[in-house]
């Protein structure tokens, strides 16, 4: 039989990214009003259209109500008690990495993010975002040779204003939902990627988001545009220090794929999840959506969600182009008092569009892990197909696993298949592995890894290894 104490010991594995960097930061005063929105825009020296975009979003947000349909239990957020702009103080313009505050470099070094020259060998271009601003983007020259634009969104506003004006808010409109409206009003930074026609991005692009201040929210915005016949793989990672207050993270990600383009967006989310008592942790309310505008375009989301006190996240695909493809591969792990309500929306609009959903939820401790997804076949989606698979694994008898798939079809010539199952780590399998000399914890880890294999196979190499380690770390022995 499984040792209960062992379970508790291993579940207590500390959060190793919980340190705080002691660095001088520039913060604006707490609270949110029109002046704050104007101030953020002014600090970033934004053109008028962007200020108008922010103000319009802010007006809409004021009229909206915080959604409660997910039934997540959390303390009401006081939006006037949050700092909406916080940036590490450094020289205005940075020409090379040497000018970045060494403390910041050290922070990212501790997190294992390759910003420094010697680590650039890993061949992944990184945009590092610290609190509200992007502090460095690597490999820019090399990427520019191929015509690829990879920079922070603030730089893009200055240097590629036409693209921002054309695409910003076209996939996730400012009024889309409460948190998207909030983000549209106060977003501080984020990444911008533009892959020109016919270019296959020579390396993986990566953004790393770090929240350092305890009282400021993070509102980043990512925009990725893949022109005709181009392709890109984008990776996103997140961590935050341990605070006993809750920090709000409300991001918006917009992807646009034109004819024959392909975007692969992978996330390993490991925000601080709070302690065993549920104190502290990040509230992660994110809107991610991709638009397959072109024919045969493809958007693939893969995510490993292990952190955050609350996760509210539904990376979605609007399949407009004929024969376009949407994919969603997700592993969500919750422990202690974490709550995750995650899933996807696949909206089939164009003919012969295809989508695949594979979602694996693992709930341990007293956590709640829900899959909530929508598959919709519009009237013009002839020959469209969807396949969804949602599996849940329960660890311990206090955890909860829910599945809420919404399925809607208005097109007879389309097919939707959905299946879901729930299981637990079988004692027979554990016994089998242990009887062959495999340590208990390793056996559990193997089984969890096997359970998630369909998703891990879709992750880029570096992430797959990290994800596997992350799950093993969070779960070893937590079988009840």
Partner 1 sequence: MEIIEKIKTNKSIDNLTEIQKFCLDKLESTPLPNPKSEQWRLANKSKLSNFLDYSVNEKNPKFDTPFPNTSQSNIRLVIGDNCLINVIEENYSIKQLSEDKLVKYIKEQISCFNQNENWSELLNLSLNSRKNTLGLKINGSEIPPIEIFSHASSNSLNAKTLVIFLEKNCDIDLLQVNLGKDNSSLSQSTFFCLEENSSVNHGVVSYGENKSNLLNSLNVIQQKNSEYNLGSLHFKFNYARFEIRIKQSEGNAKTNIKGMQITKKDEQISTYTKIDFNGPNGFLDQINKSLADDKSHAIFEGSIIVPKIAQKTDASQLSRNLLLSNLAQIDTKPQLEIIADDVKCKHGATISQLNEEELFYMRTRGITLPEASKLQLSSYFQEITSFIPVSKDRWDLLDKLLNEN
Residues that bind partner 1 in the complex, under the rule CB under 8 A: 377, 379, 392, 394-424, 480
Least distance (Å) from partner 1 to the CB of residue 476? 17
Whether the CB-CB separation of 416 and 382 falls below 8 Å is answered with no
Least distance (Å) from partner 1 to the CB of residue 179? 19
Task: Report the distance separating Cα 140 and Cα 383, nearest Å.
Answer: 42
> First and final CA of the chain: distance in angstroms?
9
Q: What are 432's two structure tokens?
A: 């089998």
DSSP-derived secondary structure letter, 92: S
Nearer to partner 1 among residue 169 and residue 396 (C-beta): 396
Nearer to partner 1 among residue 29 and residue 398 (C-beta): 398
Nearer to partner 1 among residue 280 and residue 365 (C-beta): 365
Nearer to partner 1 among residue 300 and residue 411 (C-beta): 411
Least distance (Å) from partner 1 to the CB of residue 12? 20
Nearer to partner 1 among residue 3 and residue 200 (C-beta): 3
Task: Report the distance separating Cα 400 and Cα 394, nearest Å.
Answer: 7
Q: What are 438's two structure tokens?
A: 């495999």
Least distance (Å) from partner 1 to the CB of residue 411? 7
Q: What are 384's two structure tokens?
A: 């469209």
Least distance (Å) from partner 1 to the CB of residue 361? 10
Least distance (Å) from partner 1 to the CB of residue 431? 15
Instruction: Please name which of 256, 255, 265, 262 lies closest in space to residue 303, comparing C-alpha atoms.
Output: 265
Nearer to partner 1 among residue 160 and residue 418 (C-beta): 418
Task: Report the distance separating Cα 441 and Cα 13, nearest Å.
Answer: 13
Q: Phi and psi dihedrals of 282, rounded to 5? A: -90, 140
Least distance (Å) from partner 1 to the CB of residue 381? 11
Whether the CB-CB separation of 190 and 147 falls below 8 Å is answered with no
Please tell me the total number of residues recorded for the chain in this structure. Answer: 480
Q: What are 359's two structure tokens?
A: 């979602």
Whether the CB-CB separation of 414 and 407 falls below 8 Å is answered with no
Least distance (Å) from partner 1 to the CB of residue 392? 7
Whether the CB-CB separation of 312 and 284 falls below 8 Å is answered with yes
Nearer to partner 1 among residue 100 and residue 394 (C-beta): 394
Nearer to partner 1 among residue 231 and residue 409 (C-beta): 409
Residues 6 or more apart in contact with residue 98 via CB below 8 angstroms: none
Residues 6 or more apart in contact with residue 78 via CB below 8 angstroms: none
């Amino acid at each position: 039989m499984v040792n209960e104490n062992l379970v508790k010991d291993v579940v207590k594995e500390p959060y190793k990214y919980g340190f705080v960097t002691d660095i001088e930061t520039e913060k604006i005063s707490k609270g949110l009003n029109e002046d704050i929105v104007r101030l953020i825009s002014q600090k970033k020296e934004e053109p008028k259209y962007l200020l108008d975009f922010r103000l319009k979003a802010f007006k809409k947000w004021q009229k909206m109500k915080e959604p409660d349909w997910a039934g997540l239990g959390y303390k009401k957020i006081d939006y006037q008690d949050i700092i909406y702009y916080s940036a590490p103080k450094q020289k205005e313009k940075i020409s090379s990495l040497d000018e970045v505050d060494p403390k910041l470099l050290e922070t990212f070094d501790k997190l294992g993010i390759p910003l420094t020259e010697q680590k650039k060998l890993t061949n992944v271009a990184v945009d590092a975002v610290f609190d509200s601003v992007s502090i460095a983007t690597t490999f820019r020259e090399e990427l520019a040779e191929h015509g690829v634009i990879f920079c922070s969104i603030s730089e893009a506003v200055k240097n590629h204003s036409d693209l921002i004006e054309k695409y910003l808010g076209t996939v996730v409109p400012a009024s889309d939902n409460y948190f998207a409206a909030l983000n549209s009003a106060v977003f501080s930074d984020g990444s911008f990627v533009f892959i020109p026609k016919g270019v296959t991005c020579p390396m993986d692009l990566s953004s790393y988001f770090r929240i350092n201040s305890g009282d400021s929210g993070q509102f980043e915005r990512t925009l990725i545009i893949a022109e005709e016949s181009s392709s890109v793989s984008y990776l996103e990672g997140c961590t935050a220090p341990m605070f006993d207050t809750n920090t709000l993270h409300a991001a918006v990600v917009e992807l646009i794929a034109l004819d024959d383009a392909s975007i692969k967006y992978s996330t390993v989310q490991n925000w601080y999840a709070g302690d065993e008592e549920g104190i502290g942790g990040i509230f992660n309310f994110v809107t991610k959506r991709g638009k397959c505008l072109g024919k045969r375009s493809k958007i693939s989301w893969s995510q490993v969600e292990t952190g955050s006190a609350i996760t509210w996240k539904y990376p979605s695909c609007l399949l407009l182009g004929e024969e376009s493809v949407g994919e969603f591969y997700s592993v969500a792990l919750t422990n202690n008092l974490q709550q995750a309500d995650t899933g996807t929306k696949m909206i089939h609009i164009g003919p012969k569009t295809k989508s695949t959903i594979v979602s694996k939820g693992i709930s341990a401790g007293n956590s709640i892990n829900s899959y909530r997804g929508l598959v919709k076949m519009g009237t013009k989606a002839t020959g469209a197909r969807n396949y969804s698979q949602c599996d849940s694994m329960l660890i311990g008898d206090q955890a909860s696993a829910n599945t809420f798939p919404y399925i809607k079809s208005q097109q007879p010539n389309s097919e939707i298949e959905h299946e879901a199952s729930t299981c637990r780590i079988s004692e027979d399998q554990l016994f089998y592995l242990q009887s062959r000399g495999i340590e208990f914890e390793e056996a559990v880890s193997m089984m969890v890894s096997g359970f998630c294999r369909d998703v891990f196979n879709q992750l880029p190499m570096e992430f797959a290894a990290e994800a596997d380690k992350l799950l093993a770390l969070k779960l070893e022995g937590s079988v009840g």
